[in-house]
A and B are shown apart, each in its own frame.
Chain A
Amino acid sequence: MSWKAGSKLEKLLSQGHFVVTGEVGPPKHASPDGILHHAELLKDYVDAINLTDNQTAIVRMSSIAAGVHVLRAGCEPIIQMTVRDRNRIALQSDLLGAYSLGIRNVLCLSGDHQSFGNHPTAKNVHDIDSIQLIRIVKDLRDEKRFACGEEIKEHEPRFFIGAAANPFADPFEFRVLRLEKKINAGADFIQTQCIFDMERFERFMAMVRERGLHKKAYILAGVTPLKSARAARYMQQSVAGMIVPEEIVNRMEKAKDPKAEGVAICVEQIKHLRTIEGVAGVHIMAIMWEDIIPTIVKEAGLYPRPQVE
């Protein structure tokens, strides 16, 4: 079998394993200790770790540097790369650098607008969009060409290419078609926005299957354990592109132990997602609560993790 990138993530997915990925936010400082700690903690419970790229436009350690720390801890990184802060020159340069450092998975994103972050007076770049970035990463690998068309004479970067999908954004009926655009552009795997509205996600997946997209790319369903009723309400009311049903907020409000309830809801969601045809794995985004991931993975019956054959 010839691999596109040969990453552990690609191998596990192609061998039909139900994959588990987690997410770690790089620190707002220059020490690798926190990342190394999380990577150590998660390495037996997830197959790969996403490193966010200055999420919500707050300055943090670069996803590539953080990915290298994850690698050193013996874990597989997926670096996130947004088109908000770098033009096509910087993005390709960083892709070459990331590959040279051993990174094999990249998730291509638009990025949260800088007005949300800690530098709202910054100039944004948006030279290209996320779909164009996917195509560029694919062309670097499969056509051995830079975005300008110039040939890469040797050592082309061969990434396993990820893209995001948000079934909870609008217009809903266009979301599957946009996912198809991303897959046509070159996405090998998809990680979705956190799913709380299962009914809407089921409708999304039905449309995905109708167009056969689950056979063209691996779809990892995003989940987020809720830590408190306040967090649930905040996500429901203030996070763009997110739908949190009232029923879930109520459950969190009534819970005697909200954290345990958050974990229970997340585990139920994962068990349900496993039964949906076309879902190839889950992506656990435990925001500021990475330490809970092993518990969730165990309770969801996804431990131990498979080894690459």
Chain B
Amino acid sequence: MIVAEAKPLAEIAELLGEVRKILVVGCGGCVTVCLAGGEKEVGIMAAALRMMYKKKGKELETIEVTLTRQCDPEYVQMLEKYITEDVDCILSLACGVGVQFLAERYNKWVIPALNTKFAGGTIEHGVWEERCGLCGECILHKTGGICPIIRCSKSILNGPCGGSQNGRCEVNKDIPCAWQLIYDRLKALNKLELLLEIQPPKDWSKARDGGPRKVVREDVRIE
């Protein structure tokens, strides 16, 4: 899933500035799962903002809506009925994709309430970790199911570098060295010979380096 994290409330209030009525819009997708922008977080954030404005002697009206997904026009259009003249702006609690889908659809100022962090998963309740670099050409079959593109701090394809010590990355002792993990896993699977091959430079044109990307599936397109 896409993992996101709320911006500090004071920062959001500053981004909102002099507003009287806002739409606070949650998303029922990834950000609900990672506890950043679901219905519950929308309620908490709206209440906190109202209190903050009240303390400053200002009135703030919030309308709270949580869409099934903000990255899907079918659900984004359901916001239509709330987009009235007096709404000063939309505060989106979705990932960066959702924020943009709202901005593309409605002629209102849209403010992101979250920082979109990474593609990852839940390690334990309240802990999420990055797992995929979205590089566009998966090589996990070569590395024992551990991604060096995103989990190695230097995205090395022929690791580990000289900074790997006691299984930890040189950048920070809290970061496991991805190449130590790869080494251990390939050793356990009796596939260490995979590490002896020189991996050639990666084709980054399949990643964001090739420009913004698009996937088209002709077989499922309608018309």
A124 contacts which chain B residues (CB < 8 A)?
154
> Is A129 an interface residue, CB under 8 A from the partner?
yes
Q: Which bracket fits the contact residues of A?
A: 35 or more
Is A131 in contact with B198, judged by CB distance below 8 angstroms?
A: yes
> Is A50 an interface residue, CB under 8 A from the partner?
no
A115 contacts which chain B residues (CB < 8 A)?
153, 171-172
Question: How long is the Cα–Cα vector from A54 to B177 in the complex, in angstroms?
Answer: 23
Most chain B CB within 10 A, of A83, A84, A166, A168, is at A166
> Is B77 an interface residue, CB under 8 A from the partner?
no
Is A170 in contact with B164, judged by CB distance below 8 angstroms?
A: yes
For the complex, would chain B's binding face be called helix, strand, loop or mixed by DSSP majority? loop
> Is B103 an interface residue, CB under 8 A from the partner?
no
B165 contacts which chain A residues (CB < 8 A)?
168-170, 240-241
The verdict on A129 contacting B162 (CB below 8 Å), with A113-B171, A174-B195 known, is: no
Is B201 in contact with A132, judged by CB distance below 8 angstroms?
A: yes
Most chain B CB within 10 A, of A116, A132, A184, is at A132
Q: How far is the CB of A9 from chain B (nearest CB, A)?
A: 22
Q: How far is the CB of B137 from chain A (nearest CB, A)?
A: 14
Is A135 in contact with B198, judged by CB distance below 8 angstroms?
A: yes
Q: How far is the CB of B54 from chain A (nearest CB, A)?
A: 36
> Is A55 an interface residue, CB under 8 A from the partner?
no
Is A131 in contact with B158, judged by CB distance below 8 angstroms?
A: yes
Question: How long is the Cα–Cα vector from A130 to B171 in the complex, in angstroms?
Answer: 18
> Is A158 an interface residue, CB under 8 A from the partner?
no
The verdict on A127 contacting B164 (CB below 8 Å), with A113-B153, A115-B171 known, is: no
B161 contacts which chain A residues (CB < 8 A)?
110, 129-130, 169
Residue of A nearest to B158 (CB): A131
> Is A287 an interface residue, CB under 8 A from the partner?
no
Is A132 in contact with B195, judged by CB distance below 8 angstroms?
A: no
Question: How long is the Cα–Cα vector from A27 to B162 in the complex, in angstroms?
Answer: 25
Is B198 in contact with A185, judged by CB distance below 8 angstroms?
A: yes
The verdict on A240 contacting B170 (CB below 8 Å), with A169-B163, A174-B195, A177-B196 known, is: yes
Q: How far is the CB of A193 from chain B (nearest CB, A)?
A: 6
Most chain B CB within 10 A, of A112, A115, A129, A168, is at A129
Most chain B CB within 10 A, of A83, A110, A124, is at A110
> Is B26 an interface residue, CB under 8 A from the partner?
no
Is A181 in contact with B170, judged by CB distance below 8 angstroms?
A: no
B195 contacts which chain A residues (CB < 8 A)?
174, 177
Question: How long is the Cα–Cα vector from A211 to B53 in the complex, in angstroms?
Answer: 72
> Is B38 an interface residue, CB under 8 A from the partner?
no
> Is A88 an interface residue, CB under 8 A from the partner?
yes
Identify which of residues 116-157 in chain B touch chain A, using a CB-to-CB cut-off of 8 Å. Answer: 153-157
Q: Closest 9 interchain pairs by CB?
A: A166-B162, A240-B170, A131-B158, A129-B156, A240-B163, A126-B155, A110-B161, A128-B201, A241-B162
Q: Please name 9 pairs of A and B residues whose Cβ atoms are closer than 8 Å in the assembled complex, sorted by A.
A: A88-B201, A113-B170, A128-B201, A129-B161, A130-B158, A169-B165, A174-B195, A185-B198, A240-B163
Chain B interface residues (CB < 8 Å from chain A): 153-167, 170-172, 177, 180, 183-184, 195-196, 198-202, 204
Chain A interface residues (CB < 8 Å from chain B): 83-84, 88, 110-113, 115-116, 124, 126-132, 135-136, 147, 164-166, 168-171, 174, 177-178, 180-181, 184-185, 193, 240-241
